[in-house]
Amino acid sequence: MGSLGLATINLPKISSPVKKPIVISTWDSGMPVNAEAWKILSNQGKSVDAVEAGAIYIENDINCCVGLGGFPDRDGIVTLDACIMDEKANCGAVAGLEQIKHPISVARKLMETTPHVILVGAGAQQFALENGFKLEEKKLSDDASKAYNQWLIQSKYQPEINIENKKQNGPFAPNFFEDGTANHDTMGLVAMDFNGDLSGAVTTSGMAYKIHGRVGDSPIIGAGLFVDNEIGAATSSGVGEEVIRICGTHLVVEFMRNGYSPEMACKKACERIVKRDPKKAATLQVGFLALNKKGEYGGYAIQKGFVFSVKSNDENEIHSTKFLI
Ligand code: ASP
């Protein structure tokens, strides 16, 4: 009874409808990736198929720093990292994979046909070949070769904070620059399908000019990608070592579990990195991107310049994130 002795009426709670299907992806290069994923999502397909299709699309793009067209390590070898995770927390990943065009599909094969989660290097390549993937020629793309030769002059490993700002030629310009300074770009995408199921995928050639064998955050579940179908999903881009140190995307999902919006959850993960070593954080970029179970999304970065792409029934856009420094 209410204070006036009147019976309390329990009105039904009004909540905004879940926005689904939806796909969000890192950088402006996510626009065509989303379009590819959307072909599946808009036909009521599964989110895991959609994110794989998006990743395959960009792995095919020889002008992108993802896939075999990407930047090499300091020995001049392109090594690829990828992972995939579905709504049941099934996951698969490959790291340091050479001469295979679609690491994302090798990761999915591993997820679906073996009890394992991660394969690396020669073992990952052997698994790919055993499963019908073709060995590609060991060769740098023209742009990567030009940039690598330029880099060799000084051979200094110094990740650029904000290579995105140096893109001169519009949203879909190739991610290489005359001065050879572009040294990262990772495609991470997370999606919710018509059934409300979440999945994510990440594919990258990793930090340019890394030590041969170095593995970044991208293929590490909980670092470069995490999906919890009850809560949400998150992905990251930027200096992978910093993301690994805080289990970045797992942290973002846990912040969402505690009630934070996707944007706030990403912000809090960025703050965790900066708090650990503010001086160092001022010299590097990390960006997070998250989607929750309601179809709400958001991103945040340490520095200016991180953008992400969104496709749903209502929008098809590139968003800039807020940043800490
Ligand atoms: N996170 C990737 C890595 O550390 C690089 C990137 O996002 O561009 O390998």
Task: Report the distance separating Cα 104 and Cα 93, nearest Å.
Answer: 8
Distance CA 234, CA 46 (A): 18
Residue 275: predicted pLDDT? 97
State in Å: Cα 21 to ligand 1 middle. Answer: 27
pLDDT band at 13 (very low <50, low <70, confident <90, very high): low
pLDDT category, 66, cuts 50, 70, 90?
confident
Quote the pLDDT of residue 62.
Answer: 78
**Which of 73, 164, 218, 244 maximizes ligand 1 atoms within 8 Å of its Cβ, making it the mutation to test the pocket?**
218
Mean pLDDT of the region 103-119: 98
pLDDT in tens, 142-168: 888 998 998 898 887 666 554 444 443
Single out the catalytic residue among 26, 186, 204, 321.
Answer: 186
Span 101-125, mean pLDDT?
Answer: 98
Residue type, 207: M
Q: Which atom of ligand 1 is nearest to the CA of 241?
A: 4
Give the model's pLDDT for residue 1. Answer: 40
What average pLDDT score do residues 85-112 get? Answer: 98
Q: How confident is the model at residue 63 (pLDDT cuts 50, 70, 90)?
A: confident
Overall pTM surpassing 0.85 (yes/no): yes
Architecture of domain 22-323: 4-Layer Sandwich (3.60)
Q: How far is the CA of 81 from the centre of ligand 1 (A)?
A: 9
| 24 and 297 Cβ atoms separated by less than 8 Å | yes
Confidence band for 7, pLDDT divided at 50, 70 and 90: low
Domain boundaries, the chain: 22-323
**Which atom of ligand 1 lies closest to the CA of 224?**
1
- Residue 181 catalytic? no
Q: Return the minimum-mean-pLDDT range out of 4-13, 81-90, 186-195, 197-206.
A: 4-13
For ligand 1, residues with CB inside 6 Å are 184-186, 204, 206-207, 216-218, 237-240
Whose C-alpha lies nearest to ligand 1, atom 9?
Answer: 206
Distance 263 CA to ligand 1 centre (A): 20
* 165 to 142, 171, 210, 320: CA distances (angstroms): 23, 11, 22, 12
